[in-house]
């Protein structure tokens, strides 16, 4: 069958690589620097009730304005993985000038928000990207509790005003609903975008047809190996 004349391929899945390092991840070693008007702390270790740690990259305004509000994204796609929408899906209509190079896939743009008086934390889901623990891919209470612990720990930092909002798309949206149900005291706002409500029908079996490509690819592509 010939391809329709107006068809444009936006994204083609490739075989997952074998190790986080080959996918751009690096061991979780803390660092701090100032760049583009931001204080950037990478690989911040956040203690969890499981005995493991979550790891975050935290972006703050350079002027070190005391007690800023915080936006958190909880992602399986890698906080190191700067992948603005315009780059991954060039035919999506997203424009290059809408995003900075610090924008991770489906997460808020740290440069934009720090310029507007917010801190931003991009947090790797447990068990991904050299992280500790086992990835459950948003399927259990343990991950929501780890997200809860992350919210409260970051809210208690001296640069935070104790008010936390969540933002993100797809997986980064669904994780917001799960943790919001636990009512973390510091959580004031969630902005979930394009999350699923029925994982079985909307991800694993669209219309009852088994998905043999997307979900297995996601699990292997971003899981810790």
pLDDT (tens digit, 9 = 90+) per residue, 138-170? Answer: 667 889 999 999 999 999 999 999 999 999 988
- The Cα 153–Cα 115 span in angstroms is 23
- The Cα 56–Cα 120 span in angstroms is 10
Q: Distance from first CA to last CA of the chain, Å, rounded?
A: 38
What pLDDT is recorded for position 139?
66
- The Cα 140–Cα 2 span in angstroms is 44
The topology (CATH level 3) of 20-222 is Rossmann fold (3.40.50)
What pLDDT is recorded for position 2?
44
Report percent pLDDT > 90 for the chain. Answer: 44
Enumerate the domain spans of the chain: 20-222
pLDDT (tens digit, 9 = 90+) per residue, 86-103? Answer: 666 677 777 777 778 888
Report percent pLDDT > 70 for the chain. Answer: 76
Q: Evaluate if residue 127 carries a pLDDT over 70.
A: yes
- The Cα 166–Cα 43 span in angstroms is 19
pLDDT (tens digit, 9 = 90+) per residue, 190-214? Answer: 998 877 777 777 777 878 888 777 7
Instruction: Sort 84 into a burial class: Cβ within 10 Å, 0-12 / 13-18 / 19+.
Output: buried
- The Cα 220–Cα 47 span in angstroms is 26
Q: Evaluate if residue 7 carries a pLDDT over 60.
A: no
């Amino acid at each position: 069958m010939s391809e329709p004349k107006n068809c444009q391929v936006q994204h083609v899945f490739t075989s997952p690589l074998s190790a986080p390092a080959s996918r751009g991840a690096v061991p979780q070693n803390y660092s701090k620097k100032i760049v583009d008007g931001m204080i950037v702390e990478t690989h911040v270790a956040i203690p969890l009730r499981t005995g493991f740690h979550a790891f975050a990259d935290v972006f703050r305004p350079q002027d070190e304005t005391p007690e800023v509000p915080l936006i958190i994204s909880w992602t399986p796609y890698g906080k190191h993985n700067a992948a603005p929408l315009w780059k991954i899906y060039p035919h999506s209509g997203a424009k290059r000038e809408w995003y900075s190079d610090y924008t991770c896939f489906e997460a808020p743009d740290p440069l934009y928000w720090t310029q507007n008086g917010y801190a931003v934390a991009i947090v790797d889901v447990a068990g991904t990207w050299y992280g500790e623990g086992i990835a459950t891919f948003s399927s259990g209470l343990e991950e929501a509790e780890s997200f809860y612990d992350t919210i409260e720990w970051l809210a208690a930092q001296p640069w935070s005003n104790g008010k936390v909002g969540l933002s993100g798309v797809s997986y980064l949206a669904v994780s917001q609903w799960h943790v919001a149900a636990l009512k973390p005291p510091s959580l004031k706002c969630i902005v979930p975008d394009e999350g699923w409500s029925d994982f079985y029908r909307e991800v694993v079996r669209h219309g009852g047809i088994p998905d043999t490509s997307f979900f297995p690819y996601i699990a292997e592509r971003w899981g810790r190996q």
